[in-house]
Amino acid sequence: MTGVLTIVGLGPGDARHRTPAATEAIADAEAVYGYSAYIDACDDILRPDQFVVRGRMTEEKLRAEQAVDAAAGGRRVVLVSSGDAGVYGMATLALSNAYEIEETARPEVRVLPGVTAALAASALVGAPLAHDFACLTLSDLLTPWEEVERRLRAVAEADLAIALYNPRSKGRPWQLDRAREVLLERRAPTTPVALVADIARDGQRVELTTLADLDCGKVGMTTTVLVGSSTTRRFGDWLVTPRSGSGRSAG
């Protein structure tokens, strides 16, 4: 008999932004797999009778395989990601692994949505993503940098608001500076920018700035960077994008 694998997004930080569906799935699981920090984030639900695997940062592939195998073996398994598991999360790896299993032995797989960092960061500063927007990662570990730059250019050209994931880390120190240059080719220096770090966790930080004044040195691994469109305005401590599309057509 095959089991069920539920791939769960915990939302950002604490349990306030975790959906009841995610909480139920974890409570109902026989085995829970996740990166150790995400296991900590659902510690309030876990019980001693559950088989819990606290994984390491670099072992996503192994973790996805283990979770799929456990479900194929007949268990009710949950694999947790932060934010939304389907946005730069674990869902792709796990679904790809599950599909490699012969159909008769393949576990049932479900994905539960969550509040991804772009939405959580946006809410903290108002409504910068209120009209069309894109989520882009600046990580060039799996994608050549020229491809990342091409996407930035296209999205800037289309005048979308942008949420940048993985903007900067010790191993990727220059990418955000370069992204800022690329965006400045097509966006005004006064374009509002928000840096939101450690969302819904101790030490949560919000800083509003502009493309011209953006100090990339302040940005770390747990920061989400939001860049306004040409219509995004700063009202005091809020960033607001009107729902009427591009500034080119405002009238």
* CB 101 to a second copy: min, Å: 11
If binding is defined by CB under 8 A, does position 19 make contact with a second copy? yes
* CB 46 to a second copy: min, Å: 17
If binding is defined by CB under 8 A, does position 248 make contact with a second copy? yes
Alpha carbon separation from 169 to 41, 65, 175, 219 (Å, rounded) = 22, 27, 9, 8
DSSP code string of 119-149: HHHHHHHEETTSSSEEEEE---SSS-HHHHH
* CB 242 to a second copy: min, Å: 6
If binding is defined by CB under 8 A, does position 66 make contact with a second copy? no
Residues in 212-241 at the binding interface with a second copy, rule: CB under 8 A = 235-236, 238, 240-241
For residues 55 and 81, the answer to whether their CB atoms sit within 8 Å is: no
Q: State how far the Cα of 206 lies from the Cα of 11, in Å rounded to an integer.
A: 18
* CB 47 to a second copy: min, Å: 20
The neighbouring-strand residues paired with 31 are: 51, 77
Closer by beta carbon to a second copy, 20 or else 48: 20
If binding is defined by CB under 8 A, does position 182 make contact with a second copy? no
If binding is defined by CB under 8 A, does position 28 make contact with a second copy? no
Dihedral sign computed on CA atoms, order 102, 106, 111, 117: negative
* CB 238 to a second copy: min, Å: 5
Closer by beta carbon to a second copy, 115 or else 208: 115
Closer by beta carbon to a second copy, 18 or else 180: 18
Count of alpha carbons within 13 angstroms of residue 64, beta-carbon side: 21
Angle between helix axes 60-72 and 91-100 (nearest 10 degrees) is: 50
Backbone angles phi, psi at 249, to 5 degrees: -110, 0
Region of 29-37, 40-48, 106-114, 206-214 interacting with a second copy (CB under 8 A)? 106-114
- 132 to 171: interface string for a second copy, x by CB under 8 A: xxxxxx----xxx--xx-xx-xxx-xxxx-----------
